[in-house]
A and B are shown apart, each in its own frame.
Chain A
Amino acid sequence: MNSDKITKAVLFASSFVILLIAGGMIFSLAGGAIPAIKAFGLKFIWANTWNPTEGQENYGALPFIAGTILTSIAALLISLPLSFSASLFLGEYFRGTRLARILGTMVDLLAGIPSIVYGLWGFYVLRPMLIAVGLPNQGFGIFTASIILAIMIIPYATSLSTEIITMVPGELKEAAYSLGATRTEVIFSVIVPSARSGIVAGYILSFGRALGETMAVTMLIGNANKIPDSFFGTGNTMASVIANQFGEADGLKLSSLIAIGLLLFLMTGVINSLGKFIIKKMG
């Protein structure tokens, strides 16, 4: 009997580890961000400056917040038709076939490719193609980064939407077919409406992924510490500025980068909680 109590205590204690890690993360990031917050106050979040010159150091996160949101939204929009099609292919048109298994495996493998390999491919294959069609800045910038990001987040949205589309009850679809609807009509008037919240949740979660992607974006966005002046202009995201500037950072600059990390942590936390909340509400 005594060993049962010990076992239960060990199980209970282990679940505390996750809480400790999460709590410790917020605590440590906030602690590391204190010098930056002390120096710049809350206006750090919306200040549009990044000046590392010694003596007149002045840091603000707005250029990177703007770059992050811009690339992530663009990536989401680009990936939307692709992952929607793939989930119809897997969950409706070719459901259960060998073809769907192969395609499904390949979509899953997209999630397995390391970020840095995406970056290399973007740099050496995609970028020259974009230069050829007249993209400025040597092909670097928000647009190029968004395309690669879009490919990277496709599997996340696809797997959830496929699952939800597969779960739409057959009776509903058959009822529509018996009324003479074509398959396309069934998709848009039966499947999409009843799978809507799952599909939306999938896109929210993949948006959350896009927010924090680092290496591929760092290699393609152009690394300019300013608010992007156009969709094809260069910029920096919160993740890429940390990767870029961390090596030579100390003091106030390091603290500002940690503050950006804290903001990124909070942003992804909110977005992911929202996605999970929608999934949970569906049951």
Chain B
Amino acid sequence: MESLANLSSKNLERRNLKDRLFKGLVIFLSMLTISPIVLIIYKLIEKGIRQISFDFILKTPPDTFQAMTALSNGELIPGGIANGITGTLLMVTLASVIAIPVGVITGIYLYENPDKFMANITRNISDILQGVPSIVLGLIAYIWVVKPITSGFSALAGSVSLAIMMLPMIVRSTEETLKMIPQSIKEAALALGVPYYKVLLRVLIPTGFSGLLTGILLGISRILGETAPLMLTALGSSVINLDITKPTSAVPLLIWEFYNDPNMVDLIWSSSLLLMAMVLGLNLLSKRIAARTK
């Protein structure tokens, strides 16, 4: 195309230079891409670590007046985020209890009937559900639970919005996991006359267990940090609440409250540090499990 001109050594030099420059650019931009995670974690540790203590995990937040007094005396703000931690655990557990069984069973259905009309529709719809913004799920849980069922903001409503968020992730990860199990294992069980449900419960699920666990842990790590849907559903609470029909706090909700209160604003860093430790810990754990089984 560009004929013999390409062969001239000057041209070759220029092309090689361009090649090296481009590689340098790619490396530079890649480093730039991951710099936020380093900077964010650094900032959280720098500003948040001094607040972290047993009190921080075991006590509820001070009121804004106590925080102001502590601030003006130059002391650490007393109290902690126990109400947020218990609320997060409550809602995430409830969401998991709702989403995991339905998600795994639906995933098994997709795997067992890959080409059925119904399976295709289910697969496409769960893909679309996976892309629905979390704030819209908050609106949905508000319409479905806050107004008719608990007639007020509640942990149940928060859990429902988180469960809808988690469900499609579980469905797809279950299907993908099961696809990797050799057909022969299932056929061997069926050939021995094992009832179908036992094949699913005793053969398929145990064989794919670590894959399922990876999907579940990733799903949980995704919903742990969600704030927006909880603002519309669980609202928040200044005390520890374990009644699912009452407003409940969560760690991300507390961060939002601290952020909006000038006296409490110091607490955002330690709360975020704790939240990030939970989310990234689960994330890395699920990667570990996935890598070990491959």
Contact = CB atoms under 8 A, between A and B. Distances in A.
A269 interface: yes
Interface in A5-45: 6-8, 10-12, 14-15, 17-19, 21-22, 24-25, 28-29, 31-32
A183 B19 contact: yes
Interface in B102-134: 102, 105-106, 108-110, 112-113, 118-119, 121-122, 124-134
A15 B110 contact: yes
B133 A214 contact: yes
Name, among B16, B30, B144, B280, the residue most crowded by chain A CB atoms within 10 Å (CB to CB).
Answer: B30
Interface stretch (B39-47, B62-70, B74-82, B177-185): B39-47
Interface residues of B, number: 84
Contacts of B226: 114-115
B29 interface: yes
Contacts of B197: 3-4, 6-7
Contacts of B139: 29, 32, 242, 257-258, 261
A158 B33 CA distance: 10
Interface in B200-230: 200, 221-222, 224-228
Interface in B135-171: 135-136, 138-140, 143-144, 164, 167-168, 171
Contact of A15 (B27, B118, B131): B118
Contacts of B32: 82
Given A32-B143, A93-B26, A113-B225, A154 B134 contact: no
A85 B30 contact: yes
B235 to A, nearest CB: 9
A4 B18 CA distance: 65
Nearest to B47: A124
Contacts of B106: 11, 14-15, 17-18
A220 B6 CA distance: 51
A11 B222 CA distance: 26
B259 A219 contact: yes
A57 B42 CA distance: 47
B71 interface: no
A85 B136 contact: no
A: interface residue count bin = 35 or more
A89 B154 CA distance: 46
A131 B90 CA distance: 41
Interface in A100-157: 103, 105-110, 112-121, 123-125, 151, 154
Interface in A176-213: 180, 182-185, 187, 205, 208-209, 211-213
Contact of B276 (A31, A103, A114): A114
Name, among A21, A88, A118, the residue most crowded by chain B CB atoms within 10 Å (CB to CB).
Answer: A21
A125 B284 CA distance: 26
Interface string B165-199: 00110010000000000000000000000011100
B23 A184 contact: yes
Contacts of A175: none
B37 interface: yes
B232 interface: yes
A268 interface: yes
Given A29-B139, A113-B225, A261-B139, 18 more contacts: A18-B106, A18-B126, A18-B129, A18-B168, A85-B27, A85-B33, A110-B36, A112-B280, A115-B225, A116-B259, A120-B272, A123-B259, A187-B22, A212-B134, A215-B256, A239-B133, A271-B131, A272-B130
Interface of A: 3-4, 6-8, 10-12, 14-15, 17-19, 21-22, 24-25, 28-29, 31-32, 81-83, 85-86, 88-89, 93, 103, 105-110, 112-121, 123-125, 151, 154, 158, 180, 182-185, 187, 205, 208-209, 211-215, 219, 239, 242-243, 246-247, 257-258, 261, 264-265, 268-269, 271-273, 276
**Pairs A-B, 8 closest by C-beta atoms:** A212-B133, A114-B225, A85-B29, A272-B131, A214-B228, A11-B109, A182-B19, A14-B105
6 contacts: A18-B129, A103-B34, A113-B37, A113-B279, A154-B33, A243-B135
